[in-house]
């Protein structure tokens, strides 16, 4: 999953701005709402959602975006909400630390007009230390599992999602802790899941898994049967299929890329009813090399997007479809009291300081370069907001691969994102050809501009589960 913006990682905004397409009329909305409510009630009655025959409609709800939430009629088919994230290190001590939810579970349940399961998501991008420690031995695995279970019981969570990115290596720290130092995790990861399932009993256990085969280090034929046996479902991150470790452009999300990832997990033995296809409520951008004309979304060379130490060079990032990213900067901006700035705030940076895409003031290249928010401070880079809106207006659909893209030639910025139409297409395709009828998205509040992506997801889920 995308990491949260922080002062230390200004270049990794977890995204900002998407298609305003609305393609349903009032009659269709009423029909899908009724059908979706029927599906949700059937699946959740007596916790029947745990049964293999029941599809899941999952939304991650992150602690950094708790405003501008959708109305209940838009989320009529949601079955699970993943509260994200609890830090993995919290569960490595005995007794385990006590997780405190960023919002009371009672309030989360009240966001919906039907029963849902509220799950605790543990980990996320960049959170490796706790998992690495937990995987070391039988004792550490049991302690971690016991700690997770005690927190679920204490707080009233219905399930837990293990979001380790990634067992076996290729995580955010892969330059500091090389993959060869993590080979033990390949066999230890299934053992950890087994312990967690043993301790949580009838509560559901899920995992978030990579969409890129190069990151599926621990998902190999000898281990996947053990993993599959312990988990109730698998959230496949069928997005971020291009990231800063790539040197040529491709779609970060596409119909064909989604199918490729799902096919890999099916070939490893995961049953279709446990697999959940992922949908991103954000676009991604990448800086292309000088001297190249990118007339095709596949294969255009990029600038160096990741430094030798694994850090971000500030030449790529993401933009969400939040409402705040579709409005002009307020005219009554005031000096920031805490270094926060940018879209969604009324704060600007001090003179000479830059407002990074992630919403923090600073004076580094990552703050002041590409993605810097010029309306909220000094900038040396391009106006990424203007580039993004140009992409939305002039974007092209790659009908072969099923991805939306645009190349901003003057600024050499390549854009990749999902549209409501492509979301509908991939849900239909995966249901008809692979039997995949469960969906999930990152994340709940990131589509607040017009909820078109969330609506497409809900309508697609209703349609294939009718």
Query: For 325-348, how does the pLDDT look when each residue is reduced to its tens digit (9 = 90+)?
Result: 999 899 999 999 999 999 889 999
Q: pLDDT tens digit string along 35-94?
A: 555 555 445 543 433 344 589 999 999 999 999 999 999 999 999 999 999 999 999 999
Token pair, residue 90, equals 């919290």
pLDDT higher than threshold 80 for residue 451: yes
- pLDDT for the residue numbered 357: 83
Is the distance from CB of 19 to CB of 449 less than 8 angstroms? no
- pLDDT for the residue numbered 52: 41
Work out the number of other CB atoms within 10 angstroms of the CB of residue 356: 33
Q: Using pLDDT thresholds of 50, 70 and 90, give the confidence band for residue 160.
A: very high
Question: In sequence order, what are the beta bridge partners of 348?
Answer: 335
- pLDDT for the residue numbered 26: 37
Question: What's the pTM?
Answer: 0.89
Of 245, 370, 215, nearest in space to 308 by CA: 245
Mean pLDDT of 363-389: 91
pLDDT higher than threshold 70 for residue 448: yes
Q: Can the peptide bond before residue 299 be classed as cis, meaning omega within 30 degrees of 0?
A: no
- pLDDT for the residue numbered 365: 85
pLDDT higher than threshold 70 for residue 427: yes
pLDDT higher than threshold 60 for residue 258: yes
Mean pLDDT of 418-441: 99
**Lowest mean per-residue pLDDT among 23-27, 42-46, 265-269, 419-423:** 23-27
Domains of the chain (ranges, CATH numbers) = 26-281+419-464 (3.20.20.80), 287-414 (no CATH)
- pLDDT for the residue numbered 18: 32
Q: What is the CA radius of gyration of the chain?
A: 21
Could you give the percent of the chain with pLDDT greater than 90?
A: 84
Is the distance from CB of 340 to CB of 360 less than 8 angstroms? yes
Mean pLDDT of 379-384: 90
Q: pLDDT tens digit string along 60-70?
A: 999 999 999 99
């Amino acid at each position: 999953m995308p990491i949260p913006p922080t002062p230390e990682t200004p270049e990794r905004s977890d995204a900002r701005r998407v298609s305003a397409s609305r393609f349903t009329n009032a009659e269709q909305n009423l029909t899908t709402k009724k059908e979706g409510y029927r599906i949700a009630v059937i699946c959740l009655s007596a916790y029947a959602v745990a049964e293999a025959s029941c599809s899941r409609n999952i939304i991650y709800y992150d602690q950094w975006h708790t405003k501008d939430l959708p109305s209940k009629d838009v989320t009529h088919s949601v079955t699970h909400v993943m509260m994200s994230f609890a830090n993995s290190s919290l569960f490595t001590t005995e007794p385990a630390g006590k997780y405190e939810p960023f919002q009371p579970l009672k309030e989360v349940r009240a966001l919906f007009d039907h029963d849902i399961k509220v799950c605790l998501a543990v980990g996320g991008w960049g959170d490796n230390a706790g998992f690495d420690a937990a995987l070391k031995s039988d004792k550490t695995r049991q302690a971690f599992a016991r700690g997770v279970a005690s927190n679920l019981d204490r707080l009233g969570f219905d399930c837990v999602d293990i979001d380790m990115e990634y067992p076996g290596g290729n995580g955010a720290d892969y330059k500091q802790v090389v993959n060869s130092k993590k080979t033990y995790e390949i066999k230890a990861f299934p053992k950890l899941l087994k312990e967690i399932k043993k301790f949580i009993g009838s509560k559901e256990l899920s995992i978030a898994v990579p969409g890129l085969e190069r990151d599926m280090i621990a998902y190999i034929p000898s281990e996947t049967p053990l993993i599959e046996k312990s988990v109730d479902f698998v959230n496949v991150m069928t997005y971020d299929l291009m990231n800063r470790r790539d040197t040529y452009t491709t779609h970060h999300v596409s119909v064909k890329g989604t199918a490729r990832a799902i096919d890999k997990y099916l070939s490893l033995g995961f049953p279709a009813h446990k697999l959940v296809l992922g949908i991103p409520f954000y676009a991604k951008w990448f800086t292309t090399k000088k001297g190249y004309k990118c007339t095709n979304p596949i294969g255009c060379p990029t600038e160096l997007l990741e430094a030798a130490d694994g850090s971000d060079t500030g030449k790529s990032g993401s933009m969400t479809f939040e409402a705040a990213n579709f409005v002009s900067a307020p005219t009554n901006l005031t000096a920031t009291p805490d270094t926060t700035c940018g879209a969604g705030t009324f704060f600007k940076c001090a003179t000479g300081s830059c407002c990074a895409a992630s919403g923090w003031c600073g004076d580094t290249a990552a703050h002041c370069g590409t993605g810097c928010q010029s309306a909220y401070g000094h900038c040396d880079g391009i106006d990424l907001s203007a580039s993004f809106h140009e992409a939305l207006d002039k974007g092209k659909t790659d009908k072969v691969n099923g991805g939306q893209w645009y190349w901003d030639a003057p600024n050499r910025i390549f854009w990749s994102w999902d549209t409501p139409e492509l979301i509908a297409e991939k849900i239909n395709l995966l249901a008809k050809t692979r039997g995949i009828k469960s969906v999930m998205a990152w994340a709940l509040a990131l589509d607040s501009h017009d909820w078109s992506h969330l609506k497409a997801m809900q309508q697609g889920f209703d349609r294939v589960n009718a």
